[in-house]
């Protein structure tokens, strides 16, 4: 018996991927797109540092599956951004990777053709192309970091990163976050435990060394400086919301006890709206009310939004997919999104003018 009889027993193949450097060369970052990413990151840091009083709004589809509809959505959001830029910082939600409790479509990178062919090389290239298009429009982008290798391919195009409820407790993701170039929002656990997120922020703020890829695709020891812009994202948990004033106050106390900045973003979706997208507007309205009543810890919200409301199953015939409708979590439609954002901007603008 030799090592070949012992290794990779359950692996059927190793398919080649382009290196990050090769993909960057094929789809390079333009000077304009680079300026958009940099400006988005600086604005986010300024809000977290209280140099900018605007509210962060991470808004967009639960996941990207149709780049045509995604770009359509982005153009609408860009136009809306011009209206509300004095009181809100709009960051487009561009999620390509979807964590799964058991099975299901894992996202645009993993299965871009939505046919279980799992052409990850094609998915990564299409994801980078899509992000470039959004940045060229002038919108900063947000995504969830799930696969620890993906940031080497896409990280230069991202302004804000989320670490999801299922991965906030993961050492791998805390280490990865410590090296990301963006502010990072850590969601509380699926059971609502905020301590998990606070421990993640503390961990990611320190330097780490771990195995990863460099831009040439070579396995390397990645040594990070630590990320000083970690913050909490309240998304509810165990079927219950946690955006109310009491929950926010308790989160503030926990952050202060850990000697961390009191920066809190509220996810209007998931358990905070009982997974009913139409309730997201009520959550956002409550957050704005808390800010108007003097809360200084709430710095942003997240909204799951698409062109059409609701969601749909992935049909065998992809031609039957409804345009602009989510294939993962249900979303609010564009008209509702505009109303939510315009109303929040109007109310916050009046507060800022006082």
Residue 278 lies inside a defined structural domain of this protein: yes
Alpha-carbon distance of 124 to 20, in angstroms, equals: 10
Residue 36 lies inside a defined structural domain of this protein: no
Alpha-carbon distance of 288 to 187, in angstroms, equals: 20
Mean of the pLDDT values across residues 264-291?
A: 97
- The per-residue pLDDT for range 9-31, each reduced to its tens digit, is 999 999 999 999 999 999 999 99
- The per-residue pLDDT for range 175-231, each reduced to its tens digit, is 999 999 999 999 999 999 999 999 999 999 999 999 999 999 999 999 999 999 999
Mean of the pLDDT values across residues 41-57?
A: 98
Residue 102 has pLDDT above 70, yes or no: no
Q: How many whole angstroms from its chain centre is CA 199?
A: 19
Tell me, what's the pLDDT at 99? 72
Overall domain count for the chain: 1
Tell me, what's the pLDDT at 5? 81
Residue 137 lies inside a defined structural domain of this protein: yes
- CA-nearest of 68, 67, 66, 65 to 98 is 65
Q: Which tokens belong to 136? A: 């060229």
Residue 90 lies inside a defined structural domain of this protein: yes
Mean of the pLDDT values across residues 106-135?
A: 96
Tell me, what's the pLDDT at 351? 79
Residue 2 has pLDDT above 80, yes or no: no
Mean of the pLDDT values across residues 128-151?
A: 97
- The per-residue pLDDT for range 59-101, each reduced to its tens digit, is 999 999 999 999 999 999 999 999 999 999 999 999 998 776 5
Tell me, what's the pLDDT at 303? 98
Residue 135 has pLDDT above 70, yes or no: yes
Residue 214 lies in domain:
54-353
CATH number for position 167: 3.20.20.70
Alpha-carbon distance of 320 to 170, in angstroms, equals: 38
Tell me, what's the pLDDT at 101? 58
Residue 82 lies inside a defined structural domain of this protein: yes
Alpha-carbon distance of 123 to 43, in angstroms, equals: 30
Alpha-carbon distance of 285 to 293, in angstroms, equals: 12
Three-state helix/strand/coil letters over 205-269: CCCCEEEEECCCCCEEEEECCCCCCEEEEECCECCECCCCHHHHHHHHHHHHHCCCCCCEEEECC
Alpha-carbon distance of 147 to 163, in angstroms, equals: 11
- How far are the Cα atoms of 108, 158, 205, 226, 266 from residue 222, in angstroms, in the given order? 26, 20, 15, 12, 32
Residue 55 has pLDDT above 80, yes or no: yes
- Decide if 309 contacts 277 (C-beta within 8 A): yes
Task: Please tell me what DSSP assigns to residue 87.
Answer: T
Residue 119 lies inside a defined structural domain of this protein: yes
Tell me, what's the pLDDT at 183? 98
CA atoms 31, 36, 38, 39: torsion sign:
positive
Mean of the pLDDT values across residues 160-174?
A: 97
Residue 298 has pLDDT above 90, yes or no: yes
Residue 35 lies inside a defined structural domain of this protein: no
Task: Quote the mean pLDDT of the chain.
Answer: 96
Q: Using a pLDDT cut of 70, give the percent of the chain over it.
A: 99
Residue 64 lies inside a defined structural domain of this protein: yes
- CA-nearest of 111, 85, 109, 105 to 96 is 109
Q: Which tokens belong to 143? A: 């995504």
Strand pairing report for 219-223 and 209-213? antiparallel
> What DSSP element (H or E) covers 301?
strand 298-304
Tell me, what's the pLDDT at 76? 98
Beta bridge partners of 144: 162
Alpha-carbon distance of 80 to 196, in angstroms, equals: 35
- CA-nearest of 195, 191, 197, 153 to 173 is 197
Tell me, what's the pLDDT at 30? 97
């Amino acid at each position: 018996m030799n090592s070949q009889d012992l290794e990779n027993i359950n692996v059927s193949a190793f398919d080649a991927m382009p290196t990050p450097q090769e993909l960057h060369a094929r789809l390079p970052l333009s000077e304009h797109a680079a300026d958009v990413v940099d400006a988005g990151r600086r604005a986010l840091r300024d809000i977290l540092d209280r140099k900018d009083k605007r509210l962060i709004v991470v808004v967009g589809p639960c996941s990207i599956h149709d780049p045509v509809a995604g770009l359509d959505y982005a153009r609408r959001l860009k136009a809306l951004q011009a209206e509300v830029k004095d009181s809100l910082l709009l960051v487009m939600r561009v999620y390509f990777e979807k964590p799964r409790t058991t099975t299901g479509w894992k996202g645009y990178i993993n299965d871009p053709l939505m046919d279980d062919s799992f052409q990850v090389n094609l998915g990564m290239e299409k994801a980078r192309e899509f992000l470039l298009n959004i940045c060229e429009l002038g919108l900063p982008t947000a995504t969830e970091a799930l696969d620890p290798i993906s940031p080497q391919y896409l990280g230069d195009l991202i302004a804000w990163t989320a670490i999801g409820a299922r991965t906030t407790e993961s050492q791998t993701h805390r280490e990865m976050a410590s090296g990301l170039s963006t502010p990072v929002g850590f969601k509380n656990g699926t059971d609502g435990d905020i301590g998990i997120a606070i421990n993640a922020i503390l961990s990611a703020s320190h330097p780490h060394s771990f195995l990863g890829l460099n831009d040439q695709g070579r396995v390397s020891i990645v040594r990070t400086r630590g990320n000083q812009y970690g913050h909490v994202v309240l998304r509810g948990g165990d079927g219950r919301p946690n955006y109310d004033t009491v929950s926010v106050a308790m989160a503030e106390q926990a952050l202060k006890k850990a000697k961390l900045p009191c920066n809190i973003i509220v996810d209007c979706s998931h358990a905070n709206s009982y997974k009913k997208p139409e309730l997201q507007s009520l959550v956002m309205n409550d957050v704005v009310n808390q800010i108007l009543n003097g809360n200084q810890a709430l710095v942003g919200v997240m909204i799951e939004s698409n062109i059409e409301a609701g969601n749909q199953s992935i049909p065998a015939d992809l031609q039957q997919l409804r345009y602009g409708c989510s294939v993962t979590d249900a979303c609010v439609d564009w008209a509702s999104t505009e109303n939510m954002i315009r109303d929040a901007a109007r109310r916050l603008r009046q507060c800022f003018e006082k």
